[in-house]
Structure 1
Amino acid sequence: MKLNRLLSLACVTFAVTFAGFSGAASAQTPDVLNVATDATFPPMEYTENGARTGFDVDMMNALAKAMGKRVQWTDIDFKGLIPGLIAHRFDAAISGIYITDERAKVVDFTDSYYAGGLVALVKSDSPIKSVTDLNGKKVSVQVGTKSVNFLRDNCPQINRVEVEKNQEMFDLVGIGRADAAVTGKPAAYQLVKTRGGFRVLEKPLTTEAYGIAVRKDEPQLKAAFNTALAKIKADGTYAAIVKKWFGATAQ
């Protein structure tokens, strides 16, 4: 009887231990990249018919394939991307993120995968011709983006209207509650093309580089992304994605 009890205990212990190891192994899932984005920024990332799509989405899926991995997406507000990355909620973030000195203090970035910049968007019939015409006027910006800091540091006479979502910026301009919106060039031109009633000021405010954010304690992941980026540029995949979304050849 005692022997039977010992054997039963041993079996239970083995089962619990095995389950623990099995759970740890599945949690690591080395073939999966956990990637975060804020899918509200067309054409970079957005949802259409319930599916996630966009330039960044195609780019990340292509990079993951070149790395022999698949992507598991996490949707999160833009302002939470870098804090969430630092907190190990995901492995990387791609969401039209500009490489900046401030961000580079807390996270690492891959090589730039596309060049963009900040532009000002106004209604088609607006008399505004340059950013100086916006002094004393209301300009909508999305919290957590470089637009906020750029206007704060370079255009103190502009009244910022900070909103949570990219679409809110455009809506405020559309209904006249803001005189302009400052956002990334791809998103601004996408809105002009698809919605109408808007135009982009001729002179861009900045020239920027988009990068994938990774943690500073993951140098091997950064290197793997850069190797994959070089690979898809060499085999034509990168050029095809750029042409699909921007109708131009790769940079």
Structure 2
Amino acid sequence: MKLQRLFSVTCLTLAVTFAGFSGPASAQGANVLQVATDATFPPMEFTENGARTGFDIDIMNALAKAMGKTVQWTDIDFKGLIPGLIAHRFDAAISAIYITDDRAKVVDFTDPYYAGGLVALVKTDSPIKALTDLNGKKVSVQVGTKSVNFLRDNYPQVQRVEVEKNQEMFDLVGIGRADAAVTGKPAAYQLARTRGGFRVISQQLTTEQYGVAVRKDEPELKGALNSALARIKADGTYAAIVHKWFGADAQ
């Protein structure tokens, strides 16, 4: 799945590629929050019947409402989220982004809004039963995500198959060109529930937190988002969104 997703400090240089865009998104309207996402990662963010939907979408809309704002969305590939944020293309990014030390060097994060982690997804009839069985196998991962560096550092015998889109990871497993996919827990369980023919190895590779990314020069926005998160947790809105999207898998 999309996050489990890792950018190095070099994203600072990548941000230069966005320099041609207009000034700070926040200047476009005091009551509008400009937010970017990569809507290809169900159930966190995806499109259905032409509309953007998902857990992260509902969370951000609820946060904005608690702040007295509305959201104007920007769709962008995951690898462009942090460079685009640094370049002031938008005010915030929410897209199942794991809070990591490397990312925290270049952007700030809100308080965590959900716990996820990396898991391995395989076909139902796969002989892979445990994480140690991944060694020597072909494992698909999405570029720009934490999965890439995690496998490189912890499972050096794995043959990584790096793809641009989240769905490509799953498709490669489905047609047998990869033995497994390493992605975020919500997306893996969503696929296993809805597509059939897949299962998730019960042991997680990591357990991590998702956060909303903001620029380091926007401490007020970070504080406002954290206050809004506390409010939607206190009034039951957050619990209702969690139940809507994850149900029994919420814990």
Work out whether the TM-score is over 0.5: yes
Match of 2:158 in 1: 158
For 2:144 and 2:245, the matched residues in 1 are separated by 25
For 2:52 and 2:182, the matched residues in 1 are separated by 24
Match of 2:169 in 1: 169
Match of 1:19 in 2: none
Matches within 5 A, 1:47-196: 47-196=47-196
Shift of 1:28: 3.1
Match of 1:43 in 2: 43
For 1:94 and 1:27, the matched residues in 2 are separated by 20
Shift of 1:216: 0.3
Secondary structure of the equivalent of 1:41? coil
TM-score (norm 1): 0.88
**1:137-174: per-residue Cα shift (whole Å, max 9, x none)?**
10000011100110011001001000000000000000
Structure number with the bigger relative contact order (C-alpha 8 A, sep ≥ 6) is 2
What is the one-letter code of the residue matched to 1:227? S
If each structure's helix is expressed as a fraction of its own residues, which one has the higher value? 1
**1:71-105: per-residue Cα shift (whole Å, max 9, x none)?**
00000000000000001000000000000001000
| 1:48–1:97 distance in 2 versus 1, CA, 3 Å | same
Q: Which has the larger radius of gyration?
A: 1
Q: Aligned pair count?
A: 227
For 2:231 and 2:46, the matched residues in 1 are separated by 26
Secondary structure of the equivalent of 1:119? strand
For 1:28 and 1:162, the matched residues in 2 are separated by 37
Identity of aligned residues (%): 85
Match of 1:34 in 2: 34
Matches within 5 A, 1:4-19: none
For 2:248 and 2:86, the matched residues in 1 are separated by 35
Match of 1:240 in 2: 240
Q: Structure 1 stretches (4+) deviating beyond 3 angstroms?
A: 248-251
Structure 2 unmatched ranges of 5 or more: 1-23
**1:41-84: per-residue Cα shift (whole Å, max 9, x none)?**
00000000000000000000000000000000000000000000
Structure 1 unmatched ranges of 5 or more: 1-23
